Amino acid sequence: MSLLEVTDLKVSFNTADGVVRAVRGMSFTVDRGRTLGIVGESGSGKSVSTQTLMGLTPGARVEGRALFDGEDLLTVGEKRMRTIRGAQIAMIFQDPLSSLHPLYKVGWQIEEMVRQHEPGAGKEQARKRAVEMLGLVGIPQPERRVDDYPHQFSGGMRQRAMIAMALALNPKLIIADEPTTALDATVQAQILDLMQRLQREFDTALIMITHDLGVIADMADDVLVMYGGKPVEFAGRRDLYYRQHHPYTKGLLQSVPSATGAKGRLRPIPGQPPSLINLPSGCVFHPRCEYVMERCRVDEPPLAPVPSGLGEEGREHVSACWLPHEAVGLGADAERVRRRAAGLDAGGTDDVDGGSR
Ligand code: SF4
């Protein structure tokens, strides 16, 4: 059994402007010691979904199931959730000051968390753990820095302190929401290396949420791409980066050449993410898709299997798009792929041969 099994999660909010359908049916699993990358633009539902799992979306209407170690996170109640948060599932945010209180010493905050969750731990033992954790995440002179306030740390050190705090109770799962977005490239690489090293050491499962496919290129085992509140593609990392199927995934990759090592100009995806109150009909990506066909404007495509070219250990590869599922990589030009999918082209090509579903 997977450590976390989320099934058909739906999250919506009533607002003065209408119902915001933030997550419209999301399923995924995470196993111990594995990393799942959840990728998408802002408003895709990637953060709302994990915040909901942690009970951090009060007022939301929530449906579905989220079994964590056999216990449904969506029905456990706030009291039980308080014991799970931090001790079994920890979160790392983009802004360390959302976890670190600016008015308390960094070490004291780690000590307090340890003592809250482990009532048997004495003051001295908790302090020892705080120093040990700060040392583990690479804070120099941890015995001295443990008494610093957050503002006395650099941005990178604050992020390290937040990782120390997240790991202090040895959680089974860490959810990191854009953990390096505010950092410069060098510090970002150091923090990602650190997270990867510690994850292996502690055998922790990790969910990395990001808008940037480049960030997880070296660390995710599996990648879930979200758009308009729903997953549009899921695959093992290598399939996702080298044999992606969905035009949105392709667009995300073209906007980060570092993700594939490709050279050339960045190509941002044209247009804006959809309104979650008034979603487009059919495929919600169709107003921005260069491959759009008539059918796309009417019918919403389900997630369906894509033949895996790279054969990653029994990994599933699925995509929610009406284009032929053999057209992986989308190396062909848009018009040729579109004509082939619509049955207008009889001739096969390397890229699109195989016909439509
Ligand atoms: Fe584009 Fe159509 Fe596929 Fe949607 S279903 S991503 S509009 S080709």
**Pairing verdict, β 71-72 and 222-227:** unpaired
- Which pLDDT tens digit goes with each residue over 65-76? 999 999 999 999
Q: What is the pLDDT of residue 119?
A: 80
CA 127 remoteness from chain centre: 32
Whether ligand 1 lies within 6 angstroms of the CB of 156 is answered as no
pLDDT, position 24: 97
User: Residue 327 has what DSSP assignment?
Assistant: -
The letter for the amino acid at 205 is A
CB within 8 Å of 163: residues ≥ 6 apart: 92, 137, 179, 191, 194, 195, 198
Q: Kindly report the length of the chain.
A: 357
Q: With H, G, I as helix, E, B as strand and everything else as coil, classify residue 49.
A: helix
Tell the residue nearest (CA) to atom 5 of ligand 1.
321
Residue 357, pLDDT > 50, answer no
Output 335-338 pairs: Cβ under 8 A, ≥24 positions apart. Answer: 337/291, 338/291, 338/292, 338/293
Rounded Cα–Cα distance for residues 273 and 261 (Å): 26
Q: How far is the CA of 69 from the centre of ligand 1 (A)?
A: 36
Cβ neighbours, 10 Å, residue 272: 10
Q: What is the pLDDT of residue 217?
A: 85
Domain with CATH 3.40.50.300 in the chain: 4-220
Cβ–Cβ < 8 Å for 326, 307: yes
pLDDT, tens digit, for every residue of 71-92? 999 999 999 999 999 889 999 8
CA of 37 to the centre of ligand 1 (A): 22
What are the tens digits of pLDDT across the range 270-329? 899 999 999 999 999 999 999 999 999 999 999 999 876 555 666 789 999 999 876 665
| 198 pLDDT higher than 70 | yes
For 4-220, the fitting CATH number among 3.30.428.10, 3.40.50.300, 3.40.50.10320, 3.40.190.10 is 3.40.50.300
Q: Which of 105, 356, 46, 102 is nearest to 230 (CA)?
A: 46
Helix (H, G, I), strand (E, B) or coil at 28: strand
Q: Ligand 1, residue 338: give the atom nearest the CA.
A: 8
* Ligand 1 atom at minimum distance from 283 CA: 4
| C-alpha to C-alpha distance for 144 and 160, rounded to whole angstroms | 16
What is the 302 CA–ligand 1 centroid distance (Å)? 11
Atom number, ligand 1, closest to the C-alpha of residue 284: 4
Residue 148: name the closest of 112, 114, 93, 104 by CA. Answer: 104
Lowest mean pLDDT among 26-30, 91-95, 124-128, 151-155: 91-95
Rounded to the nearest angstrom, the distance between the alpha carbon of 63 and the centre of ligand 1 is: 27
Task: Indicate whether 51 pLDDT > 70.
Answer: yes
Contacts for 21 with CB less than 8 Å, ≥ 6 apart? 10, 12, 229, 276, 277, 279
Cα–Cα distance, 354 to 348 (Å, whole number): 7
Strand order through the sheet with 4-15: 18-30, 4-15, 61-68, 71-72
What is the residue whose two structure tokens read 């009060």?
Answer: 58
175 lines ligand 1 (CB under 6 A): no
Q: Of 321, 335, 339, which is best to mutate to test ligand 1, by the most ligand atoms within 8 angstroms of its C-beta?
A: 321
Pick from 322, 337, 340, 356 the residue to mutate for probing ligand 1's pocket: most ligand atoms within 8 Å of its CB.
322
State the pLDDT at residue 330: 53
